[in-house]
Amino acid sequence: MIIVMKPTATEENINAVKEYVESLGLSTHLSRGKSITIIGIIGDRRKVPDTTRLFPGVDKLVHLTESYKLANKKFKTEPTVVDADGIKFGNKTFTVAAGPCRIESVEQMLETAKAVKDAGADVLRCGVFVPEISEALSEIKKSTDLKLIVEVKRESLVKKAAELADILLVGPANMENYGILKECAKTKKPTVLCRGLAATVDELLISAEFIMSEGNPNVILCERGIRTYETSTRNTLDLSAVPVIRAKSHLPVVVDPSHSAYVVEYIKPLSKAAAAAGADGLILEVHPTPACSVTNSSQALNFKDFCDVMTSVRPIVALEGRSFQSGDIR
């Protein structure tokens, strides 16, 4: 349930309603928009009598039909901007994470970091976190001013990964792995939550709700393909999910065309389409020499192709009223 206050409601009106709801044993979440304030109620909504609408300054009581509240746009009307140590996801920015599927060497990562940064990326993709890469990851972090994103696949490794990386990523297979989600919540680190291959948008938002309810509001949603009967691509990139998520939730949403397409030639048009659909950014696989990549070589862009993708996306991003944080290509 949410309580929508009138535009004319005073701070005294808002506090009176908030204190009353909390006196009923419920928690509240205040969301201030440009013209109205919303008081979100967390707990058993049946405890709140309909007479609450008679409080001074109250416009209406709205019962949420969805099973997610904190991630719900009705709960928080203004878009959430997730800040990863200065790099922002959401609202008017367009953020790109790029890099290989796996750390093969420090030299490989530093070469990639320079190339993707020069093309306009702000985040270096470092693949799946395993203890063996800890030393290399630490050295990479010291040697580049890009933020680092790593995927976490084991609950026991989340804390260590969060110590070295700036952003955590939960892959599609673990979208409903609540042990991993809980550990990500404990870190308070920005967490990219990927939609499962057979998950609905609402199911993705329910998983996001779990992370947020455990104390981490820094959730970024990611669309990277769902399973259909089409075999031309690894998965079908559901770009309709982007406007659907934006209609349902205030959380930022990014798109990963690399893992859905699995074919280099499709990544550029899909990236452009993602930007046009209103995505807040992209996650792209980039490798110095894709043919020599130890994994996923068919979906990895080389440096020249990555630069081409970024150049083609820029006018669409501008048309959508957004801008790259890195400015023009260096």
- DSSP assignment string, 27-59: EEEEEE-SS-EEEEEES-GGGS-GGGGGSTTEE
**HSE of 297 in the Cβ direction (CA atoms, 13 Å)?**
6
Strand ranges (E), 85-152: 87-89, 93-99, 123-128, 147-151
Residue 43 has pLDDT above 80, yes or no: no
Domain 2-62: CATH superfamily, name plus number: Phospho-2-dehydro-3-deoxyheptonate aldolase; domain 1 (3.30.70.1140)
The pLDDT tens digits of the residues spanning 155-179 come to 999 999 999 999 999 999 999 999 9
d(CA 54, CA 292): 68
Q: pTM for this one?
A: 0.86
**All CATH 3.30.70.1140 domain ranges in the chain, comma separated:** 2-62
CA distances to 15, 48, 91, 319 from 22, in Å: 10, 10, 31, 45
Instruction: Please say whether the beta carbons of 259 and 300 come within 8 A.
Output: no
d(CA 283, CA 268): 12
Q: How would residue 36 be classed by pLDDT, with cut points 50, 70 and 90?
A: confident
Which residue type is seen at 66?
Answer: E
Class of domain 82-324: alpha beta
Kindly report which listed range (25-29, 229-233, 267-271) carries the lowest average pLDDT score: 25-29
Residue 27 has pLDDT above 90, yes or no: no
**Average pLDDT, stretch 235-259?**
96
Q: 291 or 86: which carries more pLDDT confidence?
A: 86
**All CATH 3.20.20.70 domain ranges in the chain, comma separated:** 82-324
